[in-house]
Amino acid sequence: MKSFPVIIFFLQNKRTKSNFIALFKFFVFLIAIVCLYSFLFHILMQYEGREFSWITGFYWSLTVMSTLGFGDITFHTDLGLFFTLVVLLSGVIFLLILLPFTFVQFFYEPWLEAQQKARTPRELSENITGHIIITNLDPVTTNLIKKLEIYHYQYVLLVPDLNKAQDLHDQGYNVVVGDLDDPETYERLRLHKAALVVATNDDLTNTSIAFTIRELTDKIPIVTNADNEHSIDILEFPGNTHVFEFMKMLGQGLARRTPGICMGATVVGNFGRLLIAEVPAAGTPFEGKTLIRTRLREMTGLTVVGLWERGKFAAPLPETMITSSMVLMLAGSDEQLKKFDRLFSIACTSHAGDAPVLILGGGRVGHTAAETLEEHHIAYTIVEKNPSIVKRSRGNHIHGDAADINTLRSAGIEEARAVLITTHHDAMNIYLTFYCRQLRPEIKIISRALAERTVSKLYRAGADLVMSSASLGANSILNFLRPDELSMFTEGLNIFSRSVPSSLIGKSLIESHIREQTGCTVIAINAHGNQQVSPDPATLLQKHDEIILIGTTEAEAKFLENYCKH
């Protein structure tokens, strides 16, 4: 039964008919040769005065042509022996060379090709709906696919190259083969029933994809990434719903975590009237105090719902000591956050005096970070190894290897308030993180990661905060798909909302054991139009309630696995 689709695909192939005709002609010719040799065998045997049956003639012809030559029937005359040599040599050519070659070329190779094409589909089922069409596999979409699988979204990865599609299919991806600029491809992908198209190719290809899709429909949203800032207008023209700049977003995100930049509490999630914000503890009056001594809730009405420190998330406790490397998660209303800014933003502005920020890596991420620092009047120095980048860049640059201690000292590592590590190589980022931590144990280190598996290594090497364009991009797209349902606070820490699972209805928070079983913390409950921030552990979970949770990526996946399988 498994071979049935292959047989159908094989028989429907346009080349199959011509291949069968070629094979048929060859076998007819081969049979004619055997018949001719059998006839001549009888003629020569009669010449020698011997008589054999027609079956014997065919038997002798095939054994000699196939070089088996059992020797039970042989000619006695020179003419007969010469005929035997002719039959033997022609058999070598036709049976041992041409037959395998012809069979492989006209049957076996087409069969293998049909088998490969049959297991890599070229269209989706007509019953599919609400799926996500992805036109490129890169770190962003790889991360996005993992999250789509967690949230039980159907997706399809469109790949133009058959061999690449087969490799990705073998790796477990849902792949369809087709040209990116062919309207028929998107018809086969049931574009009109899709929920979203994600195009993260280069700017030229993304533009072509957008025009192709808009030929078919104006309703399906398209999200894309712009490699070049000047491409945004061009990408928006054909009808892309949202154009992201992941590299720019990453550079800005890294810079905004720098000590000395104070934009107040940065909102990272919006769940109705409830706002979730992040606040670095460094430079605030909270450093060195226990959570209860900050009187934060008393003064502003905000609730600390989580603490994040060097890759580790902890639920807030009254006796928790706040350190400079911590980031506080706050939950409250817009008015409460504004009140927080009025009370505490001044202390943040004066932090670290005029000490510069060291940026290791002068690529697009590094330059975006530098522009953000410049907007906030913070001095910086970029260390870049590539002389061509240094020449065409403005600002304070040092040409040299960031792994060289003399270069770092020239750049001001001993006086810098923070180090932003923005190179395009994870191994280098890990090395530089550890190196800078050894040189300055107290310095703030904010690093970029390319692969998700590198995040934990960077924290282990000494980074205070890690961000990656892959997670940032994937979460931005997922937030577009699921507005007000989830947000990434920082690399590996998410905020999300779900309806109360059926297994928890009627139970109190303390009876649910959500934190013990998953590692997630319930930070708010939306019930009957009312929102309870930091709800009492005795609060009962009702059927139509919505719970808002915070936790690491692993904790979120565990919660969804335990409570939201359906």
Render pLDDT for 73-107 as a digit per residue (tens, 0 to 9). Answer: 989 898 988 999 999 999 888 888 888 888 777 77
Asked if pLDDT for residue 351 goes beyond 50, the answer is no
Q: Are residues 185 and 168 in the same domain?
A: yes
pLDDT at residue 482, rounded to an integer:
75
For residue 251, tell me if it sits in a domain.
no
Amino acid at 264: G
Asked if pLDDT for residue 562 goes beyond 90, the answer is no
Q: Which of 94, 119, 144 is the last residue of a domain?
A: 119
pLDDT at residue 316, rounded to an integer:
83
Most confident range (mean pLDDT) of 242-251, 333-342, 531-540 is 242-251
Q: Are residues 332 and 369 in the same domain?
A: no
Neighbouring CB atoms inside 10 A of 532's CB total: 16
For residue 407, tell me if it sits in a domain.
yes
Q: Are residues 517 and 425 in the same domain?
A: no
Q: What is the mean pLDDT of the chain?
A: 84
pLDDT at residue 565, rounded to an integer:
63
Q: Which of 91, 119, 147 is the last residue of a domain?
A: 119
Output the CA–CA distances (angstroms, integers) from residue 21 to 13, 27, 107, 197, in the order listed.
Answer: 14, 10, 11, 44
| Dihedral sign of CA atoms 40, 45, 46, 52 in order | negative
Q: Are residues 93 and 13 in the same domain?
A: yes
For residue 478, tell me if it sits in a domain.
no
pLDDT at residue 341, rounded to an integer:
83
For residue 255, tell me if it sits in a domain.
no
Domain span at residue 290? 261-349
Asked if pLDDT for residue 190 goes beyond 50, the answer is yes
pLDDT at residue 175, rounded to an integer:
92
Question: Token digits for 201?
Answer: 């190719």
Neighbouring CB atoms inside 10 A of 420's CB total: 28
pLDDT at residue 194, rounded to an integer:
94
Q: Are residues 413 and 445 in the same domain?
A: yes
CA distance 335 to 346: 18
Q: Which of 283, 317, 349 is the last residue of a domain?
A: 349
105 or 127, greater pLDDT: 127
Ramachandran bin of 239, using left for φ above 0, alpha for ψ from -120 to 50, beta for the remaining angles? left
CATH number of 63's domain: 1.10.287.70
Percent of the chain with pLDDT over 90: 31
pLDDT at residue 135, rounded to an integer:
96
Q: Are residues 412 and 396 in the same domain?
A: yes
Asked if pLDDT for residue 485 goes beyond 80, the answer is no
CA distance 435 to 462: 9
Amino acid at 367: H
H or E element at residue 189: none
Q: Are residues 8 and 115 in the same domain?
A: yes
Number of domains, the chain: 5
pLDDT at residue 353, rounded to an integer:
53
Closest CA to 232 of 256, 215, 216, 249: 249
pLDDT at residue 265, rounded to an integer:
75
Choice among 90-99, 177-186, 306-315 with the minimum mean pLDDT: 306-315
CA distance 545 to 510: 16
CATH number of 221's domain: 3.40.50.720
Q: Look at residue 503 and give its three-state secondary structure.
A: helix
Q: Are residues 401 and 457 in the same domain?
A: yes
Q: Are residues 238 and 143 in the same domain?
A: yes
Q: For residues 556 and 520, is the Cβ–Cβ distance under 8 A?
A: yes
Percent of the chain with pLDDT over 70: 89
Asked if pLDDT for residue 2 goes beyond 90, the answer is no
Q: Are residues 226 and 161 in the same domain?
A: yes
pLDDT at residue 486, rounded to an integer:
57
pLDDT at residue 10, rounded to an integer:
46
For residue 479, tell me if it sits in a domain.
no
Q: Are residues 369 and 390 in the same domain?
A: yes
CATH number of 286's domain: 3.30.70.1450
For residue 482, tell me if it sits in a domain.
no
- φ, ψ dihedrals at 496, nearest 5°: -150, 160
For residue 483, tell me if it sits in a domain.
no
Q: Helices (DSSP H) in 443-535: which residue ranges?
A: 454-461, 469-481, 509-512, 514-518
Question: Token digits for 15?
Answer: 């080349």
Q: Are residues 30 and 112 in the same domain?
A: yes
pLDDT at residue 284, rounded to an integer:
78
For residue 524, tell me if it sits in a domain.
yes
pLDDT at residue 114, rounded to an integer:
62
